[in-house]
Chains A and B, each alone.
Chain A
């Protein structure tokens, strides 16, 4: 959920899409400016953080990757919980991956929060000669379903920063505060920890 404080917005962003569509590559390009030709499934990375400045706010994205749990349709409800934004990624050289992207959009509409900002990314636009999904088809699908659409390339960095920037601009600026915010347990000392423990 996007939360506000001095025009600082924290937003959980989830990635969805087929294995091999380039979800992790998009994140790595955006967060680290890297691209690996043979990207192994990411091991040990729970999520990435990246901060973007837009006109009126600083947006800190907490980006969740599927960790492979999409492969056998075993993503947990926790994955969608509280997400303020989602990027649904397909490989534009692979019509099957576009068809499955539509399934992920349906899943999001079922599980996600209704105000979520959704982006459709047709990835691997650097492989234009192998294109099998037209930009027009994807754009009209996106418009009908309330997503915005961009074609991206994690390899050449085309539109990668742009798609995150566009999401940051579209995030609602005033979201109702979450039902009394919970606490996160952390492994670090605070003075309050031992204060007022009764007695003696």
Chain B
């Protein structure tokens, strides 16, 4: 390891692995290390033994749960938008060939104490029990407007400049009630809070289009896809990309101390008494705790169950969004469920997650409304983790630190962070102009 590298990457979370892969493909000499003896860092998927070790100390998992290796429990539960930027990155880098995906069965929203399928199109809006008869028609017209909207074609704008008109004004033109606005904003446009109402409507319209086009992509009941064997496959696949292009991998490296020169610029990384020289360091917040600040806290529950979530049409994989307003909160709550149908648990078992941004000193009790929709659970683990963002100036110290994963349900913000970091590191943008409408799924 006593060599000189262009970039040393610390931590094998998804963000770090995508960057390692992109930089190796660019021809840079990359050393990638992790203090853990497994891939994935905070975005790993754990087997049953690893899960127990993390949350239950020395206890052993009960035998009735089945074999440890049949479990892949995500530490950062998210789904992938079928037409989203992560899919673009996967296709751009050709990493898709290491991965198998299946569509997610259902996308639901919590409304007035009940769970409803999220309507994604004008036709679905007309069938949805979420709205009364007249409201359905109004919502249908709004969905129709969004579907037909093309940024480049003014004829579809109906005289509105969406870079100026606020979302609130656009929606009021269609006379939708607050209840409808709530599920459209949070369960279709996937906003995390209500700021979007006072912002230009273009972003919301594009988000709604992404949602409905993603639903249409694989003809599933949701806009999401999810890899077989869990999200932990994603960092592994990008790590392999990096290795195939010459990246060097070292797991189980204690300490990983970043070394600086007199000017405060990074000069290398020391582990086990050896120092590897480098020009730049890329890492997650845990490797440079002095250069990040806490920006929030995520609370979550991880549950092992023997049944699908009630009222989801027996979906073997599903997302439920509980909008903030429905719960009297500031941030939305998210429920995910995956199962043996995505190879993350043995036959008959389901893994469910409830997560939200913690707003009180008792985050465990905040999760109750989400846990209540799950029905009985076999095992339940509570957890909180702090979210960090970098405060350093990369042009001065050559350290490029990722932001902690947020509680959002999908990878859009994750990939945005990665692409921004890539541009800061290399001065270039990733060309993601893959033909997405042409890309499709091949059944193997």
Contacts and interface: CB of A to CB of B under 8 A. Distances in A.
Interface in A40-91: 41-46, 67-69, 71-74, 76-79, 81
B414 interface: no
Nearest to B121: A198
Contacts of B217: 193
A183 interface: yes
Interface string B109-137: 00000000000011110000000000000
Contacts of B96: 184-186
Contacts of B227: 182
Contacts of B212: 198
Contacts of B440: 185-186, 188-190, 192-193
A197 B324 CA distance: 30
A41 B216 contact: no
Contact of B123 (A41, A183, A198): A198
Contacts, number: 137
Nearest to A182: B100
Given A181-B444, A194-B437, A69 B249 contact: yes
B98 interface: yes
A185 B245 contact: no
Given A71-B248, A72-B250, A179-B340, A186 B237 contact: no
A185 B121 contact: no
Contact of B444 (A74, A182, A189, A193): A182
A186 B341 contact: no
A187 interface: yes
Given A67-B244, A68-B249, A74-B249, A46 B102 contact: no
Contact of B236 (A42, A77, A196): A77
Interface of B: 39, 87, 90-91, 94, 96-102, 121-124, 144, 147-148, 212-213, 216-219, 227-229, 233, 236-237, 239-241, 243-246, 248-252, 340-341, 343, 434-435, 437-444
7 contacts: A67-B240, A183-B218, A185-B99, A185-B441, A193-B438, A198-B124, A199-B123
